Structure 1
Amino acid sequence: MKRIVLGFALSLFMIVSYGQETANKKASIQLIRNATLVFNYGGKEFLIDPMLAKKGAYAGFEGTENSHLRNPLVELPVAAKSLLNPDAIIVTHLHPDHWDEAAIKMLPKNKPVYAQNGQDATVIKSAGFKDVRVLSNESHFEYIKLQKTTAQHGSDEAYAIPQLAEILGETSGVFFNQLGQKSVYIVGDGIWTDAFESNLKNLKPDVIVLNAGFAQLIGFGAIIMGKEDVLRVHEILPDATIIAVHMEAINHCILSRKELKEYVKSNGISDKVIIPDDGQIIKF
C-alpha cells in the first residue's frame, strides 16, 4: 500500500514539476502554408497537416472553384528540410492538401504520427511509417493531452450523395491541453455545425486555429469555414484568440486575407483575430 501511495505521489510530483517547467515556455504556432503548422507546445514540436510540395505540383481539385489552377498556389516560405524533425506529426485527414506525396516521401518514417481513425492509420502505415497512433478523447503525447474532435467537411446535402461523401470523407480536429499552457483548438477542415458549436462551448479553448478559406464545392457551397464563422466563434468565446489559416494556397479557397482583415476590422474584432502570412510565427 505504501508503495502505491509513494508511486502515486511521485507521479503527481513529476506532472506538477513538468507543468511548472513548461509554464515558463511560451507556446507558438508558425503557419507554414495552407493548414500546415509547426506548433510548439509544452516543450514539444508538432508538425500538423504537412503539405510540402513545390508550387503547382498537383492539379486543382475537380468540381471545386478555380479547379484550373494547380496546387499549391504558392511556394513554401521555408525550406522543406527544416520541417522534417518534429517530435510528432498530426494528420487531421488524408486529403492531399493536408498530407501530400512530398510529405510522405520526405518525413522520417520513425516519427510518431497521429491519425484520426484506424482507416487513416492503416494508410499511413502502408507508406512506411512505423509509429502510427489513433487519436481519441484521451490521447497523450507524454504529458500533453490531445483530444480528438469531430468535423464535417461540407453540407448535409453534399454528404447525402454517396460519391461526394466518399470524397469529402471523415475529418477531425485536435484540442491541446497542458498544465501551465493556454489550451488550443486546432479545428481542422469543416463547416459550422451543432457539434462544432458544442466543442467551443464545452472545451472553451484559449486559442482557436480556424481553417477559414471558405473553400467551395461547386453546387454545394462551403466545405470549410469563412469570415462569418470567424465572427460567430468570437461571439461565443469573446476572450479567445482566433488564428485564421488555410487561405490563399489552394485553388478552391476563395476568401483572401485582405477580405478577412477588412471584415474583422469592420466588426471591431481585429484585436482578437490573427491572420498570419505564410511563415509567420505567433507566440502566446
Structure 2
Amino acid sequence: MKLQLWRNATLLLNIDGISILVDPMLGEKGSMGKIPMTDSELLNPLVDLPFSKKELNKKLEGIDAVAVTHLHPDHWDTEAIELLDKNIPIICSNVIADHIAEQGFTNIITVNHTLQWKNIEISTTKGQHGTGEIGEKMGIVNGFVFKKENQSVYIAGDTIWYDEIAQEIDKHKPQHIIVAGGAATFSVGDPIIMTSEDIIKVCKYAPESTVWVTHLESVSHCREDRQFIQAKINENGLEKRCFVLNDGEEVDLHF
C-alpha cells in the first residue's frame, strides 16, 4: 500500500494498484472563502494543491474510486463535484449517499458496516466531530478501514479522541492509523478534530500501529501547525512511529 497526502484531508491511497481518492478538496487557494463561526478573515483553503491543474487532471484519470467521510467543504468541495467523473465509484455511508446522488453521481457504493470491493474489505467507522452543541451541529461523520488480506489502514476522519475510537482500534487492529490533527476550533466550544494530546492518546492506545497526521495548515480554524505537533511527538518519544505528513508527500505503508 502507498499513501500520498494531497492537502488537508485529501489522500490518495493505493492498494495493490487500486487507487482510492479520499475526501477530495480540489479547489484553488482561497476558493472556499471564509470559514463561518471563526474570527479569521483568511480565505480557504490556505494553500494550493502541491501540483498544477494539468497534473491534477492527469492524477484524476488514474483514480478507481473516491471515498467520502462527510460533506463539509474541506472534504468534498465544489471543484471536486465538478471535476470528478460522474460514473466513478463513490464510497460513502448511507447518511450522505442520497445527497451525493443529487449532485449527479451515478455509481455510489454505500457502506453501512463492511463490504468487499475489488478484493478490498471496506468498513465504516464511527467518529465524533466535536463536543456539545458544536458537535451536534457538525453532524454525523465517519471514517474508513481498508483491509487487504492481513494489511489494514484506518482513516479516522474528522473526529476527536473518544471511547469509540479506542473501540474501532480494538475491533480492526489496524497497522496504520491516519488522523486529522490541527485542533480546529470555532469561536466557541472545544476542538472539533484531534489536538496533539489526542494524537498522543491514539499512539499510546495503539502501540503496535504507525500513526500518520493530516489536516494541517490548510484551513484557517486549525490552531496547531506541523511544527507544534512534531514537537509534541518528539517530547513523547514517538517520532519513530508517529509522522506528520507534508502536502504532496508519498509514503510506503509497511506491514
Q: Same fold (TM over 0.5)?
A: yes
Q: Which residue does 1:202 correspond to in 2? A: 171
Q: Which residue does 1:49 correspond to in 2? A: 23
Deviant stretches of 4+, over 2 Å: 156-159
Q: Which residue does 2:85 correspond to in 1? A: 108
Aligned residues: 249
Question: 1:167-246 counterparts in 2 under 5 A?
Answer: 168-180=138-150, 182-246=151-215
CA distance in 1, matches of 2:191, 2:103: 31
TM superposition shift of 1:218: 1.9
Q: Which residue does 1:81 correspond to in 2? A: 57
> Matched residues, percent identical?
36
CA distance in 2, matches of 1:123, 1:67: 29
Q: Which residue does 1:61 correspond to in 2? A: 35
TM superposition shift of 1:129: 0.9
Q: Please, which of 144, 147, 151 is the counterpart of residue 127 of structure 2?
A: 151
Are 1:123 and 2:99 matched, yes or no? yes
Q: Is the 8 A contact 1:42 1:144 kept in 2?
A: no
CA distance in 1, matches of 2:218, 2:176: 23
Are 1:38 and 2:12 matched, yes or no? yes
Query: CA RMSD, aligned part only?
Result: 1.3
CA distance in 2, matches of 1:78, 1:136: 34
CA distance in 2, matches of 1:275, 1:175: 20
TM superposition shift of 1:188: 0.3
Residues 190-212 of structure 1, C-alpha deviations (whole Å, 9 max, x = no match): 11121112112222210000001
Q: Is the 8 A contact 1:47 1:83 kept in 2?
A: no
Residues 143-196 of structure 1, C-alpha deviations (whole Å, 9 max, x = no match): 10000001111103434xxxxx34x1110000111115x210000001112111
Q: Unpaired segments of 5 or more residues in structure 1?
A: 1-26, 160-164
Q: Is the 8 A contact 1:201 1:236 kept in 2?
A: no
Q: Is the 8 A contact 1:191 1:223 kept in 2?
A: yes
Residues 73-128 of structure 1, C-alpha deviations (whole Å, 9 max, x = no match): 000002321331311100100000000000000011110001222x4111111111
Are 1:70 and 2:70 matched, yes or no? no
Residues 192-239 of structure 1, C-alpha deviations (whole Å, 9 max, x = no match): 121112112222210000001110022211000011111111111112
Q: Is the 8 A contact 1:207 1:241 kept in 2?
A: yes
CA distance in 1, matches of 2:187, 2:199: 22
Question: Helix, strand or coil for the counterpart of 1:242?
Answer: strand
**What amino acid is aligned across from residue 95 of structure 1 in structure 2?**
H
CA distance in 2, matches of 1:90, 1:157: 27
- TM-score when scaled to structure 1? 0.85
Question: Helix, strand or coil for the counterpart of 2:129?
Answer: coil
Q: Decide which structure has greater helix share.
A: 1
Question: 1:130-141 counterparts in 2 under 5 A?
Answer: 130-141=106-117
CA distance in 2, matches of 1:43, 1:140: 16
Q: Please, which of 63, 66, 70 is the counterpart of residue 93 of structure 1?
A: 70
Q: Is the 8 A contact 2:32 2:73 kept in 1?
A: no
CA distance in 1, matches of 2:153, 2:139: 24
**What amino acid is aligned across from residue 147 of structure 2 in structure 1?**
N
CA distance in 2, matches of 1:67, 1:101: 22
